Amino acid sequence: MSSKDWIEKDYYAALGVQKSASSDEIKKAYRKLARESHPDHNPGDPKAEERFKTVSEAYAVLGDEAKRREYDEMRSLFGSGAFRRGARGAGQPGGVPFDVSDLFGGGGAGGADTRFGGGGFTDLFSSIFSGGGGAGGPARPRGPARGRDVETEVALDFDDAVRGVTVPLTLRAPGVCDTCHGDGAKPGTRPKACPVCHGAGVTTRNQGSFSFSEPCRTCQGVGTVVEEKCPECQGTGGVTKTRTLNVRFPAGVADGQRIRLAGRGEPGERGGPAGDLFVQVKVRPDELFGRTGDDLTLTVPITFAEAVLGTDLRVPTLDGAVTLRVPPGTPSGRVLRARGKGVVRRDGQAGDLLVTLDVVVPAVVSDEARATLESFAEQTPPAAREHLDARVRRVG
């Protein structure tokens, strides 16, 4: 990603958010667009793949607070039109033709490659005023570029998410070339030091009072060139391949959680380090149990007689059953707790099973049951509703 990209590309528009959007809004927009345009969901659709790359590039900047600040500062400085070609200085009738691309070496004949090694606002000005090396030091090579991060989604059953599970995950994505092992050179040969920059990865040119350092056009800032390219990957060091990874999801993984697998993303350019693989977890709901943090939840119906007289209630857990005591006079909605029967935490401790009692009122009763209930009602004091009756009298 070049500094020129930061000026020319509107990453907020790519994600469909306002410049004032919060981090959560940016993340939500990215996840939605990434899911919609992911190559796995749009096989053989180059436009969808390009959209996926665009939103991923935008989120790589806007999703990082430091990069977002630099991006906003650079856009603010160079995005107002003051640095467009043909802009005229005060008191200079003819003006001096100047374009922002001149800063990056892309302005016309003799212009150099526009790419800076993934930097932003700081890299731009350190390149202008210190020859590209930072703090006045010598220029440093960019080196092989790190591969991009990859994101995918996996759906897990409720039990598997609670207990932990290993899932084979098949991905079709760029991978390291098996023929050249990522360096891009034909087997039996090695990349050689760039004859233009002599391995530095950058070249320096003078323009008036300034000295500009920029990535070498010959080696693209890597510092080496491949004279005999690998026949499999054509010198890129990577090929598209199908690979299967056995991904271990720890016990207690939650819906929406993001698992990071370091170094399992796209391979780096010509031997650079690989990016990371992020797996978004989607947990399928269970027919009985719910979940709140590390606690499991369960709703159990009981009869009116059980609520009044009390009972011993046998309820299921994930690994057996427990007996809970329902005390006499239990109201509907009371929650009973079975300690240690929830989700096991990483420290070995477990959450609880929370059982909500639901008193079921029958829609139809027999004549004998009705007579018994009427007798019960006659012998039972009415519910205390004086505070309600007082309000009714006031408003009535």
Residues 280-297: tens digit of each pLDDT: 999 999 999 999 999 999
Nearest Cα neighbor of 340 from 366, 369, 317 is: 317
The answer on whether 216 is annotated among ligand-binding residues is: yes
Nearest Cα neighbor of 140 from 66, 204, 58 is: 204
Question: Angle at the Cα of 283 (from 278 to 286), degrees rounded to 5?
Answer: 170
Q: Which residue type is seen at 241?
A: K
pLDDT band at 129 (very low <50, low <70, confident <90, very high): very low
Domains defined for the chain, CATH in brackets: 3-78 (1.10.287.110), 150-172+238-283 (2.60.260.20), 286-395 (2.60.260.20)
Looking at mean pLDDT, say which of 6-10, 263-267, 362-366 comes out highest: 362-366
pLDDT band at 317 (very low <50, low <70, confident <90, very high): very high
For residues 285 and 179, the model is more confident at 285
pLDDT at 101: 44
pLDDT band at 71 (very low <50, low <70, confident <90, very high): confident
pLDDT at 211: 64
pLDDT at 271: 63
Distance CA 181, CA 184 (A): 8
pLDDT at 274: 82
The answer on whether 197 is annotated among ligand-binding residues is: yes
Q: Decide: 338 and 351 in contact? Cβ < 8 Å.
A: no
pLDDT at 287: 92
The answer on whether 31 is annotated among ligand-binding residues is: no
Distance CA 132, CA 221 (A): 12
Q: First vs last Cα of the chain: how many Å apart?
A: 73
Q: How far is CA 15 from CA 35, 73, 134, 170, 227, in A?
A: 13, 19, 33, 28, 40
Distance CA 342, CA 236 (A): 50
**Alpha helices for the chain (secondary structure H):** 3-8, 11-15, 23-37, 46-62, 65-78, 100-103, 121-130, 158-163, 304-309, 367-378, 386-395
The answer on whether 180 is annotated among ligand-binding residues is: yes
Percent of the chain with pLDDT over 90: 26
Is residue 103 over pLDDT 90? no
Task: Kindly report the backbone phi and psi dihedral angles of residue 25, in degrees, each rounded to the nearest multiple of 5, phi listed first.
Answer: -65, -40
pLDDT at 152: 87
The answer on whether 194 is annotated among ligand-binding residues is: yes
pLDDT band at 142 (very low <50, low <70, confident <90, very high): low
Cα R_g (the chain), whole angstroms: 33
Q: Tokens 């639901």 map to which residue?
A: 358
pLDDT at 323: 95
Beta-ladder partners of 324: 313
Question: Angle at the Cα of 249 (from 247 to 250), degrees rounded to 5?
Answer: 140
Task: Give the pLDDT confidence of 368-393 residue by residue, as tens digits.
Answer: 989 988 898 888 888 877 888 888 88
Q: Which residues have C-beta within 8 Å of that of residue 329, sequence separation ≥ 6?
A: 307, 308, 310
Q: Which residue type is seen at 159?
A: D
